[in-house]
Amino acid sequence: MRGFHGGDAEGPPWYTTPMKLILVTRQAEAPDVESFVFRAEEPVAWKAGQFFHYVLHHEPTDDRGSDRWFTVAAAPSERTPIITTRSAGEKGSSFKKALFAMKPGDAIEVSACEGDFTFDEGSPDARHVFIAGGIGITPFRAILKDLDDHNATPRITLIYANRDANAAYREELEKFAAKNPHMEIVYVIAPDRIDVPKIASIAGDLKEPIFYVSGPEPMVEDLGSALSAAGVPAAHLKQDWFPGYPAE
């Protein structure tokens, strides 16, 4: 296997010579949300919850440039890296327009794998609260698929906020929950919003669970500060910030 590793013992976390990923297929996940499924030129490794750095050459390129970070929405067992992302249509960046113009057989470059937003099962009694804002569901999809692959059934509450009930990966997430008697999903659909009182009403004692928060940067920032102020210890809070999206 070529030395492209997710910071594990087998190799360096950064890989400086870009590798091509070839688009195999695209699938709709929700209105304006699609998954792009790739075949790597050579085997690649990552940990569920990590992200890749992508370069998509296109012209003309707007001032946001030709590179982005995207979570690998696939579990390592799937072997096919997946980007799941939202299109802003005509208002979108030149990068997103080029991505949504890709056809099977087209290539994108990937040059690094990083991230510590990975799942630590901890003790058998440990409780985990996953909080996803919209497209911030991607690392949770990878982690939950990975746990399902290993028949692991940790105690997980997924709080999933979305602009409407047609949320990406909903059907699949419900299948995972059906197989894990210790997993529940709570949807928070706009105009309802996730805030600390709501989290406390779902999760109970805020000092006990390990919180994982992923989504648009302003949402993750605000919720992280509010959870800390409410007494969540720093060691119980993991965050994954997606820049480039406003708060939902």
Ligand X SMILES: Cc1cc2nc3c(=O)[nH]c(=O)nc-3n(C[C@H](O)[C@H](O)[C@H](O)COP(=O)(O)OP(=O)(O)OC[C@H]3O[C@@H](n4cnc5c(N)ncnc54)[C@H](O)[C@@H]3O)c2cc1C
- What is the distance between the alpha carbons of residues 159 and 22, in angstroms, rounded to a whole number? 33
Q: Is residue 46 a contact partner of residue 115, using CB atoms and an 8 Å limit?
A: no
Nearest residue by C-beta to ligand X?
Answer: 244
Binding mask 191-230 for ligand X (x = CB under 6 A): ----------------------------------------
Binding mask 143-182 for ligand X (x = CB under 6 A): ----------------------------------------
Using the contact rule CB under 6 A, the part of the chain among 65-73, 148-156, 160-168, 196-204 near ligand X is 65-73
Nearer to ligand X, 95 or 130 (CB): 95
Nearer to ligand X, 138 or 162 (CB): 138
Q: Which of residues 66-105 bind ligand X (CB under 6 A)?
A: 68-71, 84-86, 88, 91-93, 95-96
- What is the distance between the alpha carbons of residues 103 and 25, in angstroms, rounded to a whole number? 8
Closest CA to 134 of 181, 205, 194, 175: 194
Using the contact rule CB under 6 A, the part of the chain among 4-12, 34-42, 163-171, 238-246 near ligand X is 238-246
Residues 6+ apart with CB under 8 A from 88: 32, 96
Closest CA to 55 of 25, 1, 98, 12: 98
Nearer to ligand X, 177 or 220 (CB): 220
CB of 20 to ligand X, least distance (A): 19
Q: What angle do CA 48, 54, 58 make, to 5 degrees?
A: 150
Query: Amino acid identity of 88?
Result: A
201 phi and psi angles, rounded to 5 deg? -70, -25
Q: Judged by CB under 6 A, does residue 119 bind ligand X?
A: no
- Unique residue bearing structure tokens 């309802």: 192
Query: In the complex, which residues of this chain contact ligand X (CB under 6 A)?
Result: 51, 62, 64, 68-71, 84-86, 88, 91-93, 95-96, 135, 138, 240, 242-246
